[in-house]
Amino acid sequence: MVTDLDLARLRRCVELAAAARNRGDHPFGSLLVTADGRTIEAMNTVVTRSDPTGHAETNLVRLAAEALPADVLATSTLYTSTEPCAMCAGAIYWSGIARVVYALAEDGLADIVVEQEGVPTMRLPCREVFARGGRPVAVAGPADLPEAIAVHDHFWG
C-alpha cells in the first residue's frame, strides 16, 4: 500500500528525475529513508558519467551502503520515480534494503520507451526479481502519480 507520506517522497523522486533530465541524464530519481528519518538522494548518471549502470537506484544503493550499516539498510525504504529494472532490483536485494516504493510501473515505462540507445527495454518487474531471492523485499506500487509519467514527455525521442 502506498501512503500519503509515500506519495510525498515519490514526488521528491520525480523532482530528482527532472533535475537529472535537465542536466542531460535519463529522467530517474530515487531516495532512501531510514527508520529514524535520515534521507539519501540520488539521480541517474548514465549519460553524464558514461556509465550504463548509473541508474538512480544503483547510485543510491552505492551511496547508502557507504554511509549506513547493514542493520540500518535492513529497516530502510527506497523510493523511486519508476519501478526498478532487473539490475537495480538486484542491487537493492543485495543491499538488504527492506522496502521499495515506486511511482511509474515498468510496463508503463515500456509503453513510453521501446529502446534506450538501440537496446530494447527489459520487461521484468521488480517483484519477480525479488521473488527469486531468499529474503523478503516489501514492494508498494505503482503509485498514481501523473508527474512520474510527465517527466518522460518528449525525452525518449
Among all residues, which ones are annotated catalytic?
57
Chain-centroid distance, C-alpha 48: 18
CB neighbours of 29 closer than 8 A, spacing ≥ 6?
12, 13, 14, 15, 16, 17, 18, 19, 20, 41, 42, 43, 44, 56, 80, 81
The three-state secondary structure class of 30 is strand
What gap in Å lies between CA 104 and CA 73, rounded to an integer?
Answer: 23
* Per-residue b or e along 27-49, where b marks 16 or more CB atoms closer than 10 Å to that residue's CB: bbbbbbbbeeeeebbbbbbbeee
